[in-house]
Amino acid sequence: MLLDTTRSIETPEGIELALRVVGPVARAIAWAIDLGIRSILYLILLFFFAKLGKLGMGLLLMSIFILEWFYPVLFEVYRQGATPGKRAMKIKVLHELGTPVDWSASMIRNLLRAVDFLPFLYGFGFMSMLINKDFKRIGDLAAGTVVVYEDEKVKTLNLPNESPQAMSIALPLEEQQAIIKFAERAQKLPPGRAIELANLITPMTGETGEAAIKNLYQLANGLIGVRH
């Protein structure tokens, strides 16, 4: 594991975390474990579908396609960023800012495995990891994700339970951090002070008073990847 090193990653709330970024060796082993699991599933499906003739072969090919592309996505989104192979190696996928990976990021990084695999046996992906300080393959670069060891815990944010809302415009990192910090601390502020701060960005939210505060809570939850 000589290529595995510690990197400093800034979370959305502005906290520097020392995360152990995973290099090619551990990731290759995790991939091999997942490949073995999928191969067993394919053999089981082949056993059952073979009895259905041409229809069975069509169903088999469709099942292989679905498993090949959605197996990693479902595990990464619903199992804290880790497929069974990653879990066995105690590694997981995060957004590069340290937040849990979401549907869009996981879909992008896994769809681009087709590019990483070229010209054969993940040649492009391996070269990308070697020349990138965070060992990101092409899919990670496009999705804004990073693979880290699970032994480093990301701080859990205590934000109000509001439905997440996506940003309507792109904001600089500093402004995203300000929204998340406000949502984390507003409940401890005097009501008048919280409203005063929320009203400062009324031109962006179009809301004032309590409605502005609620809207900022929703935006903060959207920024950190909360799923309802």
Q: Two tokens at 64? A: 């292989």
- Note whether 134 and 203 are same-domain residues: no
Omega before 119 cis (within 30°)?
yes
pLDDT at 1 over 50: no
pLDDT at 51: 86
The whole-angstrom separation of Cα 179 and Cα 189 is 15
Interval 24-58: pLDDT, tens: 999 999 999 999 999 999 999 999 998 888 898 99
Task: Give the structural domain span for 114.
Answer: 5-149
- Please give the average per-residue pLDDT across 73-92, as a whole number: 94
Residue 141 covered by a domain: yes
- Note whether 110 and 205 are same-domain residues: no
- Note whether 117 and 219 are same-domain residues: no
Interval 158-197: pLDDT, tens: 778 788 888 777 778 778 888 888 888 888 888 888 888 8
pTM of the full predicted structure? Answer: 0.62
Average model confidence (pLDDT) for the chain? 85
SS3 content of the chain, % helix, strand, coil (to 5): 60, 10, 30
CA nearest to 74, candidates 30, 40, 110, 47: 110
* Bridging pattern class, strands 5-10 and 145-149: unpaired
pLDDT at 71: 94
DSSP for residue 162 = -
- Note whether 145 and 181 are same-domain residues: no
- What's the CA dihedral at 108, 114, 119, 120 to 10 degrees? 120
The whole-angstrom separation of Cα 13 and Cα 220 is 10
Report DSSP letters for 62-115, one per residue: HHHHHHHHHHHHHHHHHTTT--HHHHHTTEEEEETTSSBP-HHHHHHHHHTHHH
Number of domains in the chain: 2
pLDDT at 180: 85
Interval 121-155: pLDDT, tens: 889 999 999 898 889 999 999 999 999 998 645 45
- Note whether 77 and 115 are same-domain residues: yes
- Note whether 33 and 106 are same-domain residues: yes
- Note whether 190 and 108 are same-domain residues: no
Residue 166 covered by a domain: no
- Note whether 42 and 112 are same-domain residues: yes
Residue 74 covered by a domain: yes
List the helix and strand counts (H, then E) for the chain: 11, 4
